[in-house]
Amino acid sequence: MEYNLEVAELEKKYSNFHLKHINIKLPKGKIIGLVGENGSGKTTTIKSILNLIKYDKGNIKIFGKNTNNLTKIDREKIGVVLDDSFFAPILNVNDINKLMKKFYHNWNEKYYFEKVKKFNIPTNKPLKEFSSGMKMKIKVLCALAHEPKLLILDEPTNGLDPIFRYEIVDLFADFVSNKENSILMTTHITSDLEHLVDEVIFILQGNIILDIAKNKIDNEYGIIEILPENISKIKKEDYLKCLKYKNIYYILVDSRLEFQKKYPKLEIRKPTLEEIMLILVKGE
Amino acid sequence: MNTLKGLLLKDLYVFKNFKSNIIFSVFMFIFLITMASLRMDIFTAGSILFLIFFGMNSISSFSYDENADSDKYLLSLPITRKEIVFTKYLFVFLNSFISLLIGIIISFIITLLIRGKINNIADSLRVCLIAFTSVSFLMCSNLPCIYKWGVEKGRMQSVIIPAIFIFILGIFGGLLLMFFPELYQDIDLLYLFKISPFICVILNILFYLISYLISFKIYLKKSI
């Protein structure tokens, strides 16, 4: 299998935070979602991949090359959206087009302005007058309009209204449909990943706590809602974690089939990514 | 080359934000120079004032980048740290140089129109070049502070560090005067003034080169 991105044993230590044993293998044509609460290490991982910070240990390869050895041509094949960083707010959509044309050989002006028109983004207003959602739309367009092969997206759906989130998720799905392109995206809005990602990596306090194929979640994982008086009937070894919320216990299991065999009377359903994240982070 | 052009363009766009202020200031400047020229020849003073007033505006491009955290984004594009630092220095230099040039042209035209002639134009241009070198010194001692601490946090250091340099130079000059007074007697100030353009060029190259190397080293190690 060919990989567009490989992260092996990445480690970065700060005085109050330690990111460790981060392993990511992103094959061509796939989308991986990096999920975790704020401050869990998602952005540190992205910054390490983009060489914005010096990591302490590990190895990161993009298109099979160590990130330190990437040429400009290689870097032109990477599209990036960063949640908290962009051009100065005095620039407008036309200015950004002029700049990006200088930075990328493959800058597709036609695609850029087509999408600008489609998403009703004003061309002469400075970015400072944009809503956060509008700003994010431009960031996403900038990441896509130079025909990259790998997208690295840090919270790309932050601040977006549901309609544009739907449109953008569709853009991403279309982007990987050629089986050559890949996406690594971080988010805490897990609902965006439900119908998009092939693999989900849950990260907590700098550690990967679960790295799983999305279809495995869909086909095997299960959640059971149970009242407090019945919780003692379930053995601890039969479930992964359990969370009490509004006087109901939510039990996460990694095999619906096996659990159903042992407890045929209990109703079991497919969990959402948000439920998994919550139970993994807050559960016992 | 395209990347450098793009980065320069990005910095130039900053001026868009205070376009009307710049136009107003230029007209005010023209008005004041015209008024002053009615009484005396202020070709040199006018040129230097224009340089001081407009030549240091380039710092604002750092503020805009800092506020938008633009460097993080730029470094995720096919742009190197070296290109970012180099372009900033180019921008700072060009901004000062063009400001001086425009100042000279405006002052020249006004002085010529009102007074009919300019006295000692070569000497005036020499003084302008010395002023330009002083501005270069200030800017070049500021830039590494900005790269190290940022525009906001480095504000104090940007004042203190050039002051320390000037203080050390003053002490050094004072000690020389105290212990080797004959050195000063031997200096031909007129000759020094005559060759000042050559000295200024050398000093400008040195200031920019040393400052660039320090800033680049700081920026290379910086976590963005």
Domains of chain A by residue range = 3-213, 221-282
What does the pLDDT average to over A118-147? Answer: 92
Interface contact B78-A72, CB threshold 8 A? yes
Q: How many CB pairs (< 8 A) connect A and B?
A: 81
What does the pLDDT average to over A88-115? Answer: 95
pLDDT single digits (tens) A155-202:
888 777 888 888 888 889 999 999 999 999 998 778 878 888 999 999
The contacts of residue B65 (CB under 8 Å, 6+ apart) are A88, B71
Q: Which of residues 108-137 of B touch A (CB under 8 A)?
A: none
Nearest residue on chain B to A71, judged by CA atoms?
B78
Portion of chain B with pLDDT greater than 70, in percent: 100
Residues A238, A247: Cα–Cα separation, whole Å: 21
Top residue of A15, A48, A52, A70 to mutate, by most chain B CBs within 10 Å, is A52
pLDDT at B153: 80
pLDDT single digits (tens) B191-211:
888 999 999 999 999 999 999
pLDDT at B206: 97
Residues A238, B8: Cα–Cα separation, whole Å: 62
Statement: residue B186 has pLDDT above 80? no
- Averaged pLDDT of chain B: 90
A152 CA: distance to closest CA in chain B (Å): 10
**SS3 (DSSP) at A198:** coil
CB-CB neighbors (< 8 A) of A52 in chain B? 72, 75-76, 223-224
Among candidate residues B71, B209, B216, B189, the one with its CA nearest the CA of residue B130: B189
What does the pLDDT average to over B54-71? Answer: 89
Closest CB to A103: pick one of B17, B64, B78: B78
Statement: residue B98 has pLDDT above 80? yes
Interface contact B9-A78, CB threshold 8 A? no
Q: Give the distance from CA B26 to its chain's centroid.
A: 18
The contacts of residue B155 (CB under 8 Å, 6+ apart) are none
pLDDT single digits (tens) A54-80:
999 999 999 999 999 999 999 999 999
Predicted complex ipTM: 0.89
pLDDT at A189: 79
CB-CB neighbors (< 8 A) of A98 in chain B? 9
Instruction: Kindly state whether B197 is in contact with chain A, defined as any CB-CB distance less than 8 angstroms.
Output: no
Range of the domain at B194: 2-221
pLDDT at A176: 94
DSSP H helical ranges for chain A:
42-49, 72-75, 93-103, 109-118, 132-144, 162-176, 214-220, 256-262, 273-282
Instruction: Determine how β-strand A182-187 pairs with β-strand A31-35.
Output: parallel
Instruction: Kindly state whether A78 is in contact with chain B, defined as any CB-CB distance less than 8 angstroms.
Output: yes
Among candidate residues A130, A57, A52, A51, the one with its CA nearest the CA of residue A96: A130
CB-CB neighbors (< 8 A) of B79 in chain A? 103
Q: Which superfamily, per CATH, for A3-213?
A: P-loop containing nucleotide triphosphate hydrolases (3.40.50.300)
How many other C-beta atoms can be found within 10 angstroms of the C-beta atom of residue A264? 8
Instruction: Kindly state whether B10 is in contact with chain A, defined as any CB-CB distance less than 8 angstroms.
Output: yes
pLDDT single digits (tens) B12-62:
998 887 888 888 988 998 998 899 888 888 889 989 989 988 888 888 899
Closest CB to A85: pick one of B6, B14, B69: B69
**SS3 (DSSP) at A76:** coil
Instruction: Kindly state whether A31 is in contact with chain B, defined as any CB-CB distance less than 8 angstroms.
Output: no
pLDDT single digits (tens) A106-118:
999 999 999 999 9
Residues B68, B140: Cα–Cα separation, whole Å: 24
Task: Kindly indicate the confidence band of residue B101, based on its pLDDT and cuts at 50, 70 and 90.
Answer: very high
Interface contact B67-A89, CB threshold 8 A? yes
Residues B79, B73: Cα–Cα separation, whole Å: 10
What does the pLDDT average to over A137-154? Answer: 95
What does the pLDDT average to over B56-85? Answer: 92
pLDDT single digits (tens) A18-47:
999 999 999 999 999 999 888 899 999 999
B144 CA: distance to closest CA in chain A (Å): 19
What does the pLDDT average to over B109-130? Answer: 90
pLDDT at A46: 95
Q: What is the number of domains present in chain B?
A: 1
The contacts of residue B94 (CB under 8 Å, 6+ apart) are B8
**SS3 (DSSP) at B101:** helix
Q: Any long-range contacts for B94-99 (C-beta under 8 Å, 24+ apart)?
A: B94/B8, B95/B54, B95/B55, B95/B57, B95/B58, B96/B51, B96/B55, B96/B56, B96/B58, B96/B132, B96/B135, B96/B136, B96/B139, B97/B132, B99/B50, B99/B51, B99/B53, B99/B54, B99/B55, B99/B57
Instruction: Kindly state whether B78 is in contact with chain A, defined as any CB-CB distance less than 8 angstroms.
Output: yes
- Averaged pLDDT of chain A: 92
Among candidate residues B170, B99, B96, B90, the one with its CA nearest the CA of residue B138: B96
Nearest residue on chain A to B18, judged by CA atoms?
A90
Among candidate residues A70, A33, A35, A36, the one with its CA nearest the CA of residue A50: A70
Closest CB to A52: pick one of B6, B65, B224: B224
pLDDT at A167: 83
**Phi/psi at B119 (5° precision):** -80, 140
The residue that leads in pLDDT, B1 or B209, is B209
Side chain identity at residue B139, one-letter code? M
Statement: residue B159 has pLDDT above 90? no
**SS3 (DSSP) at B24:** helix
pLDDT single digits (tens) A223-265:
999 998 888 888 888 899 999 988 899 999 999 999 999 999 8
Kindly list the distances between the CA atom of residue A6 and the CA atoms of A45, A75, A145, A184, in Å, as whole numbers in the listed order: 12, 15, 24, 11
